[in-house]
């Protein structure tokens, strides 16, 4: 099993290597790929050093799977080249998510839709992943009609440049190469990605469109406000969810407690609720602060937190790869 990681030296790429090692992914050969200036640089994996190779060399090696985490333009250009060589690509960027010919996959929800013909598989946006994992089983029972989501997103979602900006500002310096148009330390930016003509940001519209696609239900209405906060790792979301059917809170708790990928952290009397710092290094989506919306019927408030570099990116991609190995490899050999 040859596996390529495109963008191996970035924040998500580094997390991918960690997750692959932790989960003992069955690979025999690792091909770390990064930009031309990184070729030859060494990447450590399971105690061994692997030199970074060029895109062309990785494609020529014909890996079974390539996980991309190098941005949309790189994916658009090179994912089809890997696919043409017979490699199955799992792409972390937004390049293919809304392409009607590509599957958008969260394994707990819809891995079963994958076939051997799916050569480019899209990994959803980090904020969308934790939302749909938290709501999927509730949707089956009560049918989600409308979601109002406000996010509180970590700077690690932007990348290393943003982490550097926060640390420099926190040390009392002016950021040398800022990732944001304003300071992020001791501040909150209601601005993630670029603004679109409708006044929403691209990140907000990703949550709207991707949620419908993953949950396979275009009738779900979603409205989002995405906010960047000065936190290092872990995205939080306040969800207000209107269902078609009435619910009892005890039943909701029971459903969430058995939902794959969810950890229920909900005991306010003991100050137990999900926090980003508690999500670090975890693959679970943490859910708590469950309460009824008292202003209208059939509506639930909940608070959802996940490590955006793990379940929001690296872990979800590795889980897709694990599914491919488990379900597809015997069929294709």
Q: Is 19 annotated as a binding residue?
A: no
- Structural domains for the chain: 2-124+313-332 (3.40.50.720), 127-308 (3.30.360.10)
Do 239 and 147 touch, CB atoms closer than 8 A?
yes
Do 208 and 222 touch, CB atoms closer than 8 A?
yes
Q: Is 308 annotated as a binding residue?
A: yes
Q: Is residue 126 annotated as a catalytic residue, yes or no?
A: yes
Please tell me the pTM assigned to this model.
0.94
Quote the pLDDT of residue 328.
Answer: 72
CA–CA dist 291, 277 (Å, integer): 23
Quote the pLDDT of residue 254.
Answer: 98
Q: Is residue 280 annotated as a catalytic residue, yes or no?
A: no
Do 54 and 39 touch, CB atoms closer than 8 A?
yes
CA–CA dist 234, 101 (Å, integer): 31
Quote the pLDDT of residue 332.
Answer: 42
Among 78, 139, 235, 280, the one annotated catalytic: 235
Please tell me whether residue 219 adopts helix, strand or coil conformation.
coil
Among 78, 126, 139, 226, the one annotated catalytic: 126
Do 333 and 77 touch, CB atoms closer than 8 A?
no
Distances from the Cα of 120 to the Cαs of 12, 68, 76, 115, 240, in angstroms? 19, 10, 11, 11, 33
Quote the pLDDT of residue 329.
Answer: 55
Low-confidence residues in the chain, pLDDT < 70: 329-333
Q: Is 11 annotated as a binding residue?
A: yes
């Amino acid at each position: 099993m040859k596996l390529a990681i495109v963008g191996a030296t970035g924040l998500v790429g580094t997390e991918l290597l960690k997750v692959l090692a932790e989960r003992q992914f069955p690979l025999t050969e690792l091909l770390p790929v990064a930009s031309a200036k990184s070729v030859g640089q060494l990447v450590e994996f399971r105690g061994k050093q692997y030199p970074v190779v060029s895109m062309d060399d990785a494609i020529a090696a014909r890996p079974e799977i390539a996980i991309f985490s190098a941005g949309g333009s790189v994916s658009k250009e090179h994912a089809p080249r890997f696919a043409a060589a017979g490699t199955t690509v799992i792409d972390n960027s937004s390049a293919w998510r809304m392409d009607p010919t590509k599957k958008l996959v969260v394994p707990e929800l819809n891995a079963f839709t994958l076939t051997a013909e799916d050569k480019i598989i899209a990994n959803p946006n980090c904020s969308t992943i934790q939302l749909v994992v938290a709501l999927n089983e509730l949707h089956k029972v009560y049918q989600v009609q409308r979601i109002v989501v406000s996010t509180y997103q970590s700077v690690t979602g932007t990348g290393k440049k943003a982490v550097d900006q926060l640390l420099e500002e926190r040390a009392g310096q002016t950021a040398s190469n800022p990732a944001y148009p304003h300071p992020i330390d001791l501040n909150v930016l209601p601005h993630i990605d670029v603004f679109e003509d409708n006044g929403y940001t691209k990140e907000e519209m990703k949550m709207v469109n991707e949620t419908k696609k993953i949950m396979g239900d275009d009738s779900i209405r979603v409205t989002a406000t995405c906010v960047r906060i000065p936190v290092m790792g872990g995205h939080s979301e306040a969800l207000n969810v209107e269902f078609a059917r009435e619910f009892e809170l005890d039943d909701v708790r029971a459903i969430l407690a058995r939902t794959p990928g969810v950890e229920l952290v909900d005991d306010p009397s003991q100050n137990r609720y999900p926090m980003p710092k508690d999500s670090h290094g975890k693959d679970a989506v943490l859910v708590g602060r469950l309460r009824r919306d008292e202003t209208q019927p059939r509506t639930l408030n909940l608070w959802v937190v996940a490590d955006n570099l793990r379940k929001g990116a690296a872990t979800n991609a590795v889980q897709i790869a694990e599914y491919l190995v488990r379900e597809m490899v015997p069929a294709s050999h």
